[in-house]
Chains A and B, each alone.
Chain A
Amino acid sequence: MSEEVLARVVREHAGRLTASLVSLLGDFAAAEDLVQDAIETALRRWPAEGVPERPDAWLFTVARRRGLDVLRRESNYRAKLARLARPEPAAADDRLRLVFTCCHPALSRAAQIALTLRVVCGLSTTQIAAAFLVPESTVAQRITRAKRKIGEAGIPYRVPSQEELPDRLGEVLAVIYLLFNEGYLSSTAERAHARDLVDDAEWLAALLVNLMPKEPETAGLLALIRLHRARGAARFDAEGRLVLLADQDRGLWDRQAIEEATRLLTRAARAHRRPGPYQVQAAIVACHAEAAGFADTDWAQILVLYDMLLHLAPSPVTRLHRAVAVRYTQGPEAALAELENLGAPLERHALFHATHASLLRDLGRREQARRADERALELTANPAQQALLEQRLRWD
């Protein structure tokens, strides 16, 4: 049995089991400990014994037995764990509460991400550490600290009220989006064996769409992730080098996935008429994905969408992306003018310097272009981006 299959089964059940144990025990940290233990047992035994017919019941039984063991040894857990005497897990899907607890704004972003991966997706500390290239002890400490804070600071285990929801949902979507970005940008050949965070991000977004069907931004984020993934095969060439959008072989794009994601986005946008940053970003990616060739890109439409995105969520990075749309609608001179005020806020942003370089090159200012590319090269740690920039500098 492949590790991928195991990971998928675990992810399908880990969050559900944690959610029902938190409900049962009223103790987040204790529930999480039991689930991690059950998952470790599963990962040890399933490769040899096969996945049981009802993995949820199997995991619950292991967690329950483990809980009863602890109960015998530790008296302070007694009252809570005694509730495990009831043999059946709660039936309802409580994972939404779990997600909102893990992404509570009183936890740091790094803690939110680690906790969500571990508690909702069932990743081990080792897997999380490997995915983010940080020491295992750092992740373990982050999780322990977050669990303590949840218990001691009184972070509630519930879905936020209607009035809190927009902000709180924003936190959850930001965590999933960061997870996606981390996985997407670092998906180079060297890390092919690392846990596919993109997969986890898509799974989480899909879970949220199912649990919160009335929130169009969840569908927007899911569509955004799927639209990016649909073009994944064309992002790297045979040697594992990054291929820019303009040079990608669009025959490699998954047309069916693009159509489905676009439909998901359109449906959500029409049904709710509440545009948000994720829906607009997905619409921009859809515009690119629908163009038969780079020359067919509807830049005018993309520019309108970027204006909308800036109105919804102003940020210098969005203004940088908008400048690229300006390049193709009004020319490099106009785009360069757009970059003028971005130099200060994006001084340490590799993409700013790389974009600056290509605009300067378009205008024949080669020496300045070289310097901007060199600056971009200094600032990126991503091997695929480094290779692309080095190549550009060599050809120049």
Chain B
Amino acid sequence: MFVETEEFARRLEEMGELEQQAAYEAVGRWFAEHADKITHHTHLAPVHTATTVRLDGAEPMITDGPFVEGKEVVSGFAEVEVADLDEALRLARSWPACPVVEIRPAS
């Protein structure tokens, strides 16, 4: 899971067009390099498009915004096929974009 911080989003915003282009290319290269392990990946739209539905009350409650308002938001995820956590960690270390990556087994 890729996690963006406010700081990261701001830096990306402030970049010039060429710099942004380079950043996106680095991400593209990362996906290409690890294509044999990546089975699926998704980029999520920015958090201002988020809507949350809470189902733990008497009625479903719909609110504007992400489920936790915070400085860090999940911005996408990739499914990888690896032998163990160490291999996943190696992949995560080479991730060239947002500053936080959370790793979790999936079934």
Contacts and interface: CB of A to CB of B under 8 A. Distances in A.
A108 B64 contact: yes
B45 A106 contact: no
A149 interface: yes
Q: Is the interface of A mostly helix, strand, loop or mixed?
A: helix
Interface stretch (B27-35, B48-56, B84-92): B48-56
Interface residues of B, number: 10
Counting contact residues on chain A (CB < 8 A from B), the size range is 10 to 19
Interface string A211-245: 00000000000000000000000000000000000
A148 B49 CA distance: 8
A152 B49 contact: yes
A106 B51 contact: yes
A111 interface: yes
A108 B62 CA distance: 9
Given A105-B62, A106-B62, A108-B64, A145 B48 contact: yes
A153 B62 contact: no
Nearest to B45: A152
A107 interface: yes
Contacts of A111: 64
A392 B45 CA distance: 57
A3 B65 CA distance: 38
A152 B51 CA distance: 12
A113 to B, nearest CB: 13
Contacts of A152: 45-46, 48-49
Specify which of B46, B49, B62 lies most central, judged by the most chain A CB atoms within 10 Å of its CB. B49
Interface in A116-153: 145, 148-149, 152-153
A15 to B, nearest CB: 22
B92 to A, nearest CB: 29
9 contacts: A106-B64, A108-B63, A108-B65, A111-B64, A145-B48, A149-B48, A149-B64, A152-B49, A153-B45
For the complex of A and B, the 6 pairs showing the least CB-CB separation, nearest first, are A106-B51, A105-B62, A153-B49, A108-B64, A152-B49, A107-B64
Interface of A: 105-108, 111, 145, 148-149, 152-153
